[in-house]
Every structure is written in structure tokens, then in C-alpha cells.
Amino acid sequence: MARFFWVKESLPQLVIKLFKNGKASIPSDQKGVFITLFFAIFTTVTGVGIVVPLLPIYANNLGATGVYVGMIFGSFSISRIFLLPVFGRLSDRNGRKPFIVAGLFAYTLISIAFIFSKNVETLIVLRFIQGAASAMIMPVVQAYVGEITPAGTEGYSMGLFNLSMFLSLSLGPLMGGTIKDIWSLDAAFVCMGLLSGTGLLLCIFFLPKVSDEKVKHSKNEIMPWSYLLKDRDIISIFMFRYAYTACIGVIWCFLPLFADTQFGLSGSLTGMLVTLGVFVSGLLQLPMGYAADRANKKIMVISGGILSTIGMVLPYFASSFHDLLIAVTIFGIGGGISMPAIMAYAVVKGDEKNAMGSVISILTVAHSLGMLTGSMAAGLAMDFLSLRLSFPCGTIIMATGTLAFLILSGKKMNAKKQLPKN
């Protein structure tokens, strides 16, 4: 019978237990919170995914040059990078719900504001504010999920929650193109506003008050930043997350251009390539999250890093659409194996330090930095060398991140306590 080399169970046994034990991964009194957060993030990220691929077109219609298009996307990441640690720490002290609600409210208003923007400068400002709103939502929601996760099920619970993001990231761009073709670009902005507003209402009415949140927040018990940033395990997961997200930035920015100029692929085939890695990784979140609770997380992360490194170098040797298809699939499998283990690491460290929001925000900063700098590094490689060489640039980043994780992380990251027996 087939076995994962790091899990002492056969594949059929793993699948059976996956669905059998999944019901117990969240306490019964917290299932409503989990479901609310799951669908709130699903609707919000889907709405954003609808619009983001259309923003370059909208900016171009307003007369934006390439530099301004880069600023529109860069302003979002810049505000996130600076504000993620702030909101993560404040939510540790003051509770999660106020920041989630405020962020979703801002998302809803910005969606409508996009319709009335008449120049590129306004788009840049709106994207900067949207990045700030995102900093209030994503790390705080993930920290909330981490807090209600029982000991020993961090990987499964975070993998299950991450399904909301991966599914919405895959669905949003497809919906955006369809809405634009059937109705208009403004209709896409309206849909983003409606979906963000739905997430807002879910959180207002179904999340408990701060006083009723599972974990009581205390200003005196939270670890200082200097202590967190000296932790080798936290540094190791930061480095890996940064490297993996930088590679995503390379793929999203340069694979469409590479597919068009080198192979003349249609828009639909190019879209398939861009979303396939995310989709494959999303499919693996649940089984690999389950495995991460019962396996050596370090081996899972390193294995996923090696696969992602291979996936990044393969486009350099590609000679057909199918070669590119194989490359992004391997890259997605690598992320599907490693990311649940990385998130499980983060939850364990957040609980250990009594600073869940702070630790998750550090990881989210790595995500934003990776998206911002990965595409820039590949762009320099394209400008000074060639478009094909932008992918080996990602390979170097991914290999470096994997090696840094191998060197810096501890020998073993244990769950908070032993898994409950089945």
C-alpha cells in the first residue's frame, strides 16, 4: 500500500482518518466562529480576485504608464508591509473582531470608490488604503483561527481554513473576466463591494463580542517584538514563506508574458497556467494539513521547498504548453505540501509566545515582501538578461529560502500537546 515517507500510515488509511477526524478539529462551541471566518474570507478574497486582474486594464483606460501600473500594485503591498505588524499586535491586545469588521468595512467602501476614480493617482491612493484594510483582516483572521484550534490539530485546521483563500483565489479571476465580458468593468467593482459587504455582515452578526472571544488579551503577557524576532523558528518560517511567495510573484507577473511571447498561447490557456498552481496547492491543503499534525513538519517543508524549486526552474527548459503545465503543477504540489506545515509551525509558535496575531503578522509580512520583491528581481533579470532567465531567478530565491529554513529551524516542532486518540 502506498505510504507517504514521513507518515506511518497507508494512503487509504490517511484519507479515511482525514474525513473521520476532521469533525473534531474545531471545538463544538467554536464551529460557528470558524464557519463565519471561513465564508467571510472566501467572499472577500473572491471579490478582490474579481477585480485585481482587471485593474491594469482600468488603469490603462485612465492613461497609466507601466510605471504607474506598478505603483498601483506596489502601493497595496507597501501599506501591508508597514501596517501588518501594527494591527497584528493591536489585535493581540484588544481582541480580533474590531479589526476584522473595520477592515471589511473599508474594503466595501473602497470597492465603490473605484467606480468613481477618475485618475491614476486616485487608484494608487485607493490601493494603498485597500492594503491597510487587508492588514486588518488577513493576519487577524488567521490568528483568530489559530486561537480556537485545539492542540495537535493546527495543520488540519489551518489547511481547512486556507481552502477559503485558495478556492477564492482560483474562482475570483475567472469570475472577473466573465463579469466584464457580460456587463462591464464597473459591474466587477460592484460585485467586489457586494461580496465584501457580505463578509462584513457575517462578521458583525456571527462573531462573538471581544469579551466573549476564547482567548482573553492582556497587554502585560504579550512578548516584545525583539524577543519574537530573535526566535530562530520564526525567522525560518519567515524566510521560507518569503521565498515561496516571491516565486508566486514571478509566476503571476512573467508566466503570462512568457507564454504569449514564446509560445503564442491563448488567453484561456495562459489563465489556466497562472491559476493551476494555486488550485493544485489548494486541493492539497486539507490532506497535507492532516499529515502535518502527525508528521515531521520540517521534512514536509523541505520536501515541498525542493519540489517548488524544481517547478521554478522547469519553465527555463520548456518547449511547449505541456512543459509549462507540468512546471506549475509541480510548483503547486510543493506549496501544497509545505504551506500547511508552515502555518502549523506559526500557530504553535503564536500559542507558545502568547502572541498569535504578532506571529501571524510576521508571516504575512513575508508574503507581502515576497510578492513585491520577487517580481522586481525577475523583472531585472528579464531586462538585463532575458525573459526566460527570470524563472531561474525564482529558483535561486526558492532554494535559498529552503536552505535557510533547514539551517535555522529546530530539529522538531511539537504540537502544544498530544493529539486526542481516535
| Same structural domain, 262 and 400 | yes
Residue 3 has pLDDT above 50, yes or no: no
| Same structural domain, 131 and 271 | no
Residue 316: exposure state from Cβ atoms within 10 A (0-12, 13-18, ≥19): middle
pLDDT of residue 304: 96
Q: What does the block give as the cell for 293?
A: 499534525
245 within a domain of the structure (yes/no): yes
Q: Who wins on pLDDT, 322 or 8?
A: 322
Residue 15 has pLDDT above 50, yes or no: no
122 within a domain of the structure (yes/no): yes
| Same structural domain, 184 and 236 | no
Last residue of a domain, one of 207, 230, 254: 207
pLDDT of residue 18: 47
Q: Which domain range does residue 45 map to? A: 27-207
214 within a domain of the structure (yes/no): no
Q: Who wins on pLDDT, 239 or 212?
A: 239
| Same structural domain, 166 and 246 | no
Last residue of a domain, one of 162, 179, 207: 207
pLDDT of residue 4: 44
Grid coordinates 466562529 are at which residue? 33
pLDDT per residue as tens digits for the range 43-82: 888 887 787 767 777 777 788 766 677 678 778 888 988 8
d(CA 380, CA 390): 8
Per-residue burial over 65-89, b if 16 or more Cβ lie within 10 Å, else e, is eeebbbbbbbbbbbbbbebbbebbb
Q: Who wins on pLDDT, 20 or 121?
A: 121
Residue 363 has pLDDT above 70, yes or no: yes
| Same structural domain, 146 and 241 | no
| Same structural domain, 140 and 244 | no
- 3 - beta bridge partners? 10
Residue 216: DSSP 8-state: P
Which residues does 272 contact at the CB level (< 8 Å), separation at least 6? 325
| Same structural domain, 225 and 373 | yes
14 within a domain of the structure (yes/no): no
d(CA 218, CA 108): 31
> For the chain, what is the mean pLDDT?
81
Residues across the chain? 422
| Same structural domain, 170 and 319 | no
1 within a domain of the structure (yes/no): no
3 state DSSP class of 7: coil
User: Is the separation of the CB atoms in 161 and 33 below 8 Å?
Assistant: no
pLDDT of residue 66: 63
d(CA 246, CA 236): 15
